Amino acid sequence: MKINAIQGSIQSAEADTLIVNLFEGITSPAGATGAIDTALKGAISEMIANGDLKGKGGEVAVLYPRGAIPAKRVLVVGLGKQNEFNLEAARQAAAAAITRARDLNAKEVATIVHGGGIGKMEPAAAAQALVEGSLLALYQYDAPKQQAEKPNQINSLTLVEHDPEKLAGIRAGVAVAEAVGTGAALARDLVNMPPNVATPTKLAKVAKRIAEDHGMKIIVGGRKWAAKRDMGAFLSVAKGAGEPPKFIVLEHNGEREDLDTIVLVGKGITFDTGGISIKPSQGMGAMKSDMGGAAAVLGAMKAVGLMELPLRVIGITPCTENMPDADAYRPSDVITASNGKTIEIISTDAEGRMVLADGLVFAKRYDPKAVIDLATLTGACVVALGSKAAGMFTNEDTLRDKLLSAGVTSHERVWPLPLWKDYRKDIDSDVADMKNGGGRPGGAATAAIFLKEFTDFPWVHLDIAGMALSEKKSGYITAGATGFGVRLLAEFLRSW
């Protein structure tokens, strides 16, 4: 879909469908909506007076101008209460309107910027929210199945702004939203792919394409490469895998050591059977999403490349399957990670923290100002927070606050959970430096305290187990992969 921003009047826009808006409780539309109302001889005011249009969040009314203006139809989307309006409300309104336009088989859509007028938002932020909500809502996974007819698609979205002084900000917001939307779509695609397609080799190919498109340095390490670096934790999980493991590293501004360095580490278990500690068969298919952390990192790196951020950003994704096999690692094995620490295996289904351990150790060589890992790590975090927020564990309060703020802005929310020393006792081992599991109570915290053993830099662990998949459509989140983490990371990096 082509997206652009122009100066002009919405009622004169060359499009088959126009989108304007209305706050709840407004009885006399003003601004661009008022101009459309005047052109339609009070049609919007009449709907309001008759109670057919209230302006509630997500409500969409359709009007047909019958030649009064060039467009074939006008959509009026509700913004909800003005005193509750924010960036997320703008995203949701844009999603509701653009989805309805697509369902009506609109091809060229023109819209005003929700919140850019009486909503009093900064033009760039409002435009970014509008385009993000639209792109996220229109996402469709290109599933490998035969279809009788192609689904409706919108060809163009034009943001129309009357005030020329706001146009530069709006265009800047559009550019950011397109970059972030592209990254989120990539992450969604990777998680939605069947696990026989989204293999470690496939993820490596995607990473290579990102590197080629944006001039990034890339490393793709296999078993021998990892063995030379003593990555025993990563390789232990990969022992039973039929697919070759890939330790993927992308470097944006990799040679620029004068820039602040942020390292992103994503868990890349492309399918998780649980290994020898095998999972129940019911629901195992959802474990194709166990590379949601790696998908988020690759999506974020795509967005970073498109935005050309003036930071040194490193993306690390240790990728492998976790399979039961004659060569697979076992409970009671003792494994040595690349920092020399030994790990007693309690469960082979606690594999994500194993691959992350060597990923975090590898991050140290970049002398990072911050390291953020993302992982669909524990069911315990889902029990604690559900699908409303990711669990956040950190050794640095400043990073906590920055990520909380980025989560509010992007609405990919995170919530702090404790990283207390008390939890360390739960992974004490008689035969190794630590165990890879601490039992069911406090499972998210004991997983985080395990990862802490492989860090000596400012670090945040995000447990996104409840966030990677959505069972049903909700607003701009389609059923299936959510792409969670891309927009959060992009906002965090942009505001660094």
pLDDT value, residue 310: 98
* Strands ordered across the beta sheet of 334-336: 334-336, 342-344, 434-435
Catalytic, 279? Answer yes
pLDDT for the residue numbered 119: 76
Residues near 187 by Cβ (< 8 Å), separated by ≥ 6? 292, 295, 296, 298, 299, 481, 483, 484, 485, 486
**Contact present, 442 and 423 (Cβ < 8 Å):** yes
Give the span between the Cα atoms of 100 and 216, in whole angstroms: 39
What is the rounded CA–CA span in Å between residue 40 and residue 308? 44
Tokens of 338: 């690349």
pLDDT in tens, 109-147: 999 999 988 778 999 999 999 999 999 999 999 888 877
How does pLDDT run across 439-459, given as a tens digit for each residue?
A: 999 999 999 999 999 999 999
Q: Which residue carries 């999506």 as its tokens?
A: 299
pLDDT for 305 = 98
Per-residue pLDDT at 148 exceeds 80:
no
Among 275, 403, 220, 213, CA closest to 391:
403
The pLDDT, as a whole number, for residue 40 is 97
Q: What is the mean pLDDT of residues 428-434?
A: 98
> In this structure, what token pair is assigned to residue 385?
């927070």
pLDDT confidence of residue 382? 97
pTM: 0.97
Between CA 153 and CA 159 the distance in angstroms is 18
In this prediction, residue 143 carries a pLDDT of: 86
- Least confident interval from 117-131, 360-374, 390-404: 117-131
**Domain 180-494 coded CATH 3.40.630.10:** yes
Query: Residue 146: what pLDDT?
Result: 78
Cα–Cα distance, 265 to 74 (Å, whole number): 45
**171-197 pLDDT tens trace:** 999 999 999 999 999 999 999 999 999
Q: How confident is the model at residue 19 (pLDDT cuts 50, 70, 90)?
A: very high
Q: Among 353, 435, 452, 487, which one carries the catalytic annotation?
A: 353
Please tell me the predicted confidence (pLDDT) of residue 151.
Answer: 86
Which regions of the chain carry the CATH code 3.40.630.10? 180-494
Alpha carbon distance 403, 118 (integer Å): 29
Confidence band of 326 (pLDDT split at 50, 70, 90): very high
pLDDT reported for residue 116: 86
Length of the chain: 496
The residues with which 372 forms a beta bridge, in sequence order, are 264, 460
Q: What is the pLDDT of residues 215-274, one digit of tens each?
A: 999 999 999 999 999 999 999 999 999 999 999 999 999 999 999 999 999 999 999 999
As to burial, measured by CB atoms within 10 angstroms (0-12 exposed, 13-18 middle, 19+ buried), residue 395 is: middle
The pLDDT tens digits of the residues spanning 44-79 come to 999 999 999 999 999 999 999 999 999 999 999 999
Which among 279, 400, 424, 494 is annotated as catalytic? 279
302 is catalytic: no
Burial of 336 (0-12, 13-18, 19+ CB in 10 A): middle
Residue 272 identity (one-letter amino acid):
D
Stretch(es) of the chain classified as CATH 3.40.220.10: 2-163
Q: Does domain 2-163 have CATH number 3.40.220.10?
A: yes
pLDDT for res 214: 98
pLDDT in tens, 85-94: 999 999 999 9
Q: Mean pLDDT across the stretch 476-496?
A: 97
Residue 247 corresponds to which tokens in the numbers above?
């330790």
Tell me, rounded to whole angstroms, the distance of Cα 324 from its chain centroid.
30
Whether 156 has a pLDDT exceeding 90, the answer reads yes
User: Which residues, 6+ apart, have CB-to-CB distance to 50 below 8 Å?
Assistant: none
Burial class from Cβ neighbours inside 10 Å (0-12, 13-18, 19+) for residue 94 reads buried
Q: What is the mean pLDDT of the chain?
A: 97
In the chain, the percentage of residues whose pLDDT exceeds 90 is 97
